[in-house]
Each structure stands twice: as C-alpha cells, then as structure tokens.
Amino acid sequence: MLTIQNHIILNVFDFKLLFKILHYVKPYKILFIGTVFISIFFGCLSTIRPLLIQYAFDNYILNLDIQGLLNIILVIFILLLIEAYCQFLFIYRSNYLAQKIIKNIRVETFDRIIHFQVSYFDKTPTGQLITRVISDMESISAIFSQGLLLIFGDIFKMILIIICMFFVSWELTLISLLFLPFLIISTIIFQKYMKRAFIDVRKYISKINVFVYEHIIGMNIVQIFAQEKQKFEEFKKINSLHRDSHIKTILYFSIFLPIVDVLSAIAMGLLVWYGAFNIVSGGTITIGEIVAFILFINMLFRPLRAIADRFNVLQMGVVAASRVFDILERNMEEIDEEVFFQKMKSGSLLFKNISFSYKENEPVLKNISFEVKQCETLAIVGPTGTGKTTIINLLMRWYPFNDGDIFVDNINIKDLPLSILRKNIGVVLQTTFFLSDTLMNNIKFFNDVSNEKVYKIVDELGLKDFIYKFPENYNYYIGERGSGLSEGEKQLISFLRTYLLNPSFLILDEATSSMDPITENLLQNAIKNIIKDRTSIIIAHRLSTIKNVDKIIVLYDGCIVESGTHQELLALNGKYTEYYHQQFVNT
C-alpha cells in the first residue's frame, strides 16, 4: 500500500524537485518534525475510534449495558476533543511553516532577479517575472500547507487502518480492499491528466500577467492608435484559453470523484452483504466488526479522495515550483557577491579592440579602441543604432563580452567586483525610472544620505528654484513612473540622483534629449560642475552640448570613423561636419 501511494506522490513530485523544495525546510526542521509528529498522533487517534465503537456494540449495546456504553461514549468524546485540538495544531503549524518557507524562497528569487544581467530582461517579459515572485509563490505554499504533510499523514493513517482491519478480521479486510487497486489506478491516471491541465493553467496565468502589465504601462500608446477594441479582443482570447484550461481540470475532477464514491459504496455494500450472511449463517463475524469496518472503509477511501481534492493546488504548486527554480538555478556567474565598497580615483577609461553583437552575425561594435584620459571628457556622436549606448552597456557589464578588453583606471573591468565598478561609475540614461514616492526619496533613491546633503547639492548645482517650483517642494508626490514630471524634469532629477553619489566616473547618455532650452541650460551648468574633476563620457545628438569637451569620436556602422576636438573634426569636413551642418547651418 505504501509503495503504491508513494508512486502516486512521486508522479506529482519528481525526486529532484521534491528535494529542492525540502531543502527550504531545513531552517525550520524542528517545526517540521513537530508537525509530522502531530500528524502521526492524529492518525493514531483516528484509528482508535472505530475499534472503540466496535467494542461498544459487541460488549455494551448488544448486552444492554447502559453504564458501560456511557463510559465508552465519554472516552470517544474525549478522543474527539483531542483530535479536534490536534487538527487545529496541524493546520496552523503547517500553514505557518508554508508561509515561512515561501517568504525565504520569494526573497531569494527577487535577490536573483535584481542581480541578473540586463540581457536576461531583454528576453524575459516583466509580467512573467511578476508571476514568479507573486502568484507562483502562493501556489508553492500549498505544497506545504495542503500537500506534503497532509499526504504523509494520510499514508500513515492508511497503514494503521489496514493493520487494524487485519487485526479485527482478515476476511472483511480482503473484501474491503477488493476495489482499492482500481481506485489507485484511477488516481494515477487522474493526476497524469491533471498535471497537463495545470501546466496550461499556469502558462496562461503568466500570459495574462504579461499582457495586462504591458498594456497598462503603454495605455497612452494603445489609446493614441485607437487599439482599445483590438487589444480587448486579444485579452478575451487569452482569458478564454485560461478558462478552458481550468474547465479541463474541473472536468477531470468531476469524473474522478464519482468513481471514488461508487467504488467506496460498492466495497461497503459487499462488506455488509458478506458480514450479514456470515452472521446469519452462524459465523464468527460480529455486528460490531461490521460497524467498525464501515467506518474503516470511509477512513481508508477518504485519504485517496482527499489527495484528489488537493490535486488542483498540488499540481499548481509543482508547476509553479519548477518555474521558480528555473530562476533560482540560473548560472551563478550572473550573480555578483557584495563586497566592501572601495572608492576609486577618477582615472582613465580604455576600450581596447572591442567587438560585440546582441545577436549572432549582427555586429554592433567592430573592433573599436579609444581612451579617455584622467579627468578628461569624451563625447560620442553618431546616428541612431550605431552602437553608442552599447559602449555604456559593456562598460557597466550589463552584457557579457569576450572580444577585447575594457580598463578602468588601468584595471580590467572583468577583474573588478560589479558592486565596486557600478558604484564608482555614475550613469544618467536617456530612459528614466522613478518610484511612486516623493521627490526627495526619488533623488535619494534608497541611498543612505541626509536631507541636508541633498539641500547642499541642489544649491551647488543652482537647482533650488527648480525644486521649489513644485508644490510641497521636496515632499512633492510625483506619482507612478514619474507621471507628475515632464520628460525634461525627469532627466534633470536623474542627473541630480547620480550627482548625489559623487561618482569617480560619469556617463551621460542623451541626458538633454527631452529638455526645453531653460531646463537644458540648468543641466549644462550642472554638467560643468560635475565633470570638472572626473573622467566622463557624454553621448549626445545635440552637438551644441559637446563643443567644449576634450575629445569627440564619431561612430558609424559600429566603427570609429573620426576622432578629435570640435574644431579638428569640422576641419576634416567629414561625418561630424555633416551632422553639424544638419543641426545648425540648415536650420
């Protein structure tokens, strides 16, 4: 019996996944063992009750012994109270254990996600990751609260019941177990189909999350292009597929439960028929034994039925766990270990023979080399898609590269811990990110700095009037994704956030691309202050912002085609001159 039951369980949880999940029980092994002990004790109490009822029938009821019957009823009542208390303890402790475990898994999963390289997020939809961290975790909790411990208790109880049944009457036991193999086979077939159905359920839940997230984020674009109806129809289609998957699980479930009930009823009917015939024929079976076996059959068939009842959550939990472990087991090289922060001096930046492509056979950078000397400012210009931002991606190690080397202050960046590299390089990207919080908290952005330091930096950069134009000033609530700010204001706040960290190196990627002339003038004055004693790289389309830099390189088709100062490049009458005339002479 135990072997067959284990086969059913291991069809739900394969060995590897089972041990992965149980690994998270180790910190709470005392709680786990205590809960298992309660489950065992609860199973023992449950099997005693039919034996007491049998004894009551054979020794008190048939002999009209009222006092003896009252005594045994009192014992049964006390046992029921103890059972109820044990059940309370088991339910509370198993759910408490489940929440403790998924808290740790969720923390570990999110820690992995925030340390993955940026290339991972290029290939993975955000909504899918949200599903992993939130809804998949809740499904995993069901493995502990409604799965492993309950199944263990059911197995133990079934073993005890069968032992007690053979102890009472081997004849009635064989009749009672006659249909059990058919029920076990039905259960195995049922869980096989249920597993497939729940894989589809989790898949479509993830698709719904991805679809809803992407379209809420881009709702203004949906409405600009009048795509509301079309997108609504697409959502209805995905939602219908999710519904159909759920209906499949309901169909399998509605087929299985009647099978359990019918087999149980047939076994009970045969038991009563054989027992009654034996009694009438003057056999050894007693009425008390028949009553006890009726209770035993209910207790024996109920765990298998209960396992089926829990398949809907168990299968979801297993599928969800496999998806979460896919994140947890990704290449450990993508994770950076925290080290003690070291402030680097603002030295040189050197790119040496760098080639890179995001997709195979589609090179973005082709054997480029350049150097930015200590405290110099380099500007990079070129048409869209020529690899300017890719230079930042490689410098920050957001994407792995093998062709060529990059040196920061004469140290190969592959030899620098990521935490040191990234904390010493301040980057202001063209795209901005904001918390749904106050202006002050967005400027600090989780960094442990005082308000006084923020006030001082704002004064140094001449941005006090800019801050005080907002209602409530620093306490101004900017809304989700910075909805209370213009694009130019977002970039200015992003610059202020980076400046506050006082980085050794500075990278500006199209930092003035969305600014009006007044805001751009504010930022240009601020840039002059921050690049004064730092090695800096400025990527710009507006050539007016880079006239006074130390050096300019022109990228075209992934190659450096020109290099020099503003005046030197104009004298070449090449690509840079062409860009210059397009922006100034022809306007």
Selection from 544, 449, 425 nearest residue 500 by Cα = 449
Question: Closest Cα partner for 291 from 304, 275, 280, 277?
Answer: 275
For residue 216, give the 3-state DSSP assignment. Answer: helix
pLDDT surpasses 60 at 11: no
Task: For residue 110, give the H/E element and its range.
Answer: helix 66-115
Residues 552-570 have a mean pLDDT of 85
The stretch 235-252 carries a mean pLDDT of: 84
Q: Which pLDDT does position 224 carry in this prediction?
A: 65
pLDDT class for 9, splitting at 50, 70, 90?
very low
Give mean pLDDT, residues 126-148. 75
pLDDT value at position 331? 63
Tens of pLDDT, residues 213-232: 777 767 767 776 677 788 88
Q: Are 507 and 514 in contact (CB under 8 A)?
A: no
Which whole number is the average pLDDT over 481-505? 76
Q: How far apart are CA 583 and CA 577, in angstroms?
A: 10
User: Residue 368 phi/psi, 5° resolution?
Assistant: -95, 145
Q: What is the pLDDT of residue 514?
A: 54
Q: Please, which residues have CB within 8 angstroms of residue 15's CB and are 6 or more apart in sequence?
A: none
pLDDT for 12 beyond 50: no
Report the share of the chain in percent with pLDDT over 70: 85
How many C-beta atoms lie closer than 10 Å to residue 93's C-beta?
20
State the average pLDDT for the chain. Answer: 77
Structure confidence at residue 409 (pLDDT): 84
DSSP string, 443-501: HHTT----HHHHHHHHHHTT-HHHHHTSTTGGG-B--GGGTTS-HHHHHHHHHHHHHHT
pLDDT, tens digit (0-9, with 9 covering 90-100), for 516-530: 666 667 667 667 767
Residue 100 vs residue 4, higher pLDDT: 100
**Token pair 């205590």 is at which residue?**
34
Percent of residues, the chain, with pLDDT higher than 90: 0
Would you tell me how many other CB atoms lie within 10 Å of the CB of residue 83?
17
Q: Which of 404, 384, 396, 347 is nearest to 539 (CA)?
A: 384
pLDDT tier, 272 (very low <50, low <70, confident <90, very high otherwise) = confident
Structural domains of the chain, with CATH: 2-331 (1.20.1560.10), 349-585 (3.40.50.300)
Using CA atoms, how far apart are residues 556 and 434, in angstroms rounded to an integer?
33
| Pairing, β 403-408 against β 349-359 | antiparallel
Least confident range of 222-231, 280-289, 367-376: 222-231
Please tell me the predicted confidence (pLDDT) of residue 340.
45
pLDDT of amino acid 10: 40
Residue 200 has pLDDT above 70, yes or no: yes
The model's pTM: 0.66
